[in-house]
Structure 1
């Protein structure tokens, strides 16, 4: 069953202290790490800056949304992200879950 990984993240002071060359080197390492993942099973859907001018806005600065073939793929993606040193530079909140239809989601909420 397909799963989504939704990351919300904010740059840390350690990231802000890096010079442009160090940041570029880091992103090169990110690119190499992501090549190890199966592009048919882990797909980036959207990434960007979080809007702060909406009701109940998140306090994080950025987001990324990934579609994964199953929970194991989502776990592999999170492990690959961690292995790059990402969390040294970005405070991150992850949300992972199976992709359900609206009816199932509402039934789950109603059952609480």
Structure 2
């Protein structure tokens, strides 16, 4: 069953202190790990800057939405992100879930 990961993240002071060369070096290392995740079926749906004007929006600066074929691939993604040192540089909130539909979600909300 398809699973999803939503990340919200903002740069920490450690990131802001890096020069452009160090930032590029970090992303080269991150990019090298993405190939293995791609082979697991992990794909980025969208990556971008959040809209600060959104009603009830987040304080986080960026978002990433990922899709994977199963929970194990999402777990590999989350573990790979952590292993990259990402959390040293970015304050991150993760939310993951199996694919759902509106009626099922309404039932979850009613049951809550």
Tell me how far apart the structure 2 counterparts of residues 39 and 102 of structure 1 sit (CA, whole Å).
30
Query: 1:4: how far off?
Result: 0.5
Q: For 1:15-49, what per-residue CA distance to the aligned partner results, in whole angstroms no more than 9, with x for missing partners?
A: 00000110010000010011121346101000100
TM-score with structure 2 setting the length: 0.96
CA contact (8 A) 2:4 2:67 kept: yes
Q: Residue in 2 aligned with 1:98?
A: 98
For the pair 1:62 / 2:65, whether they are aligned, the reply is: no
For residue 24 of structure 1, what is the aligned residue in structure 2?
Answer: 24
Q: CA RMSD in A?
A: 1.0
Structure 1's consecutive aligned runs of 4 or more residues displaced over 6 angstroms after TM superposition are none
Cα distance per residue 1:43-87 (max 9 Å; x no partner):
100010011102101010000000011111100000111111100
TM-score (norm 1): 0.96
**Map of 1:22-101 to 2, 5 A cutoff?**
22-39=22-39, 41-101=41-101
Partner of 2:111: 111
Q: Give the distance between the partners of 1:36 and 1:12, measured in 2 at CA.
A: 27
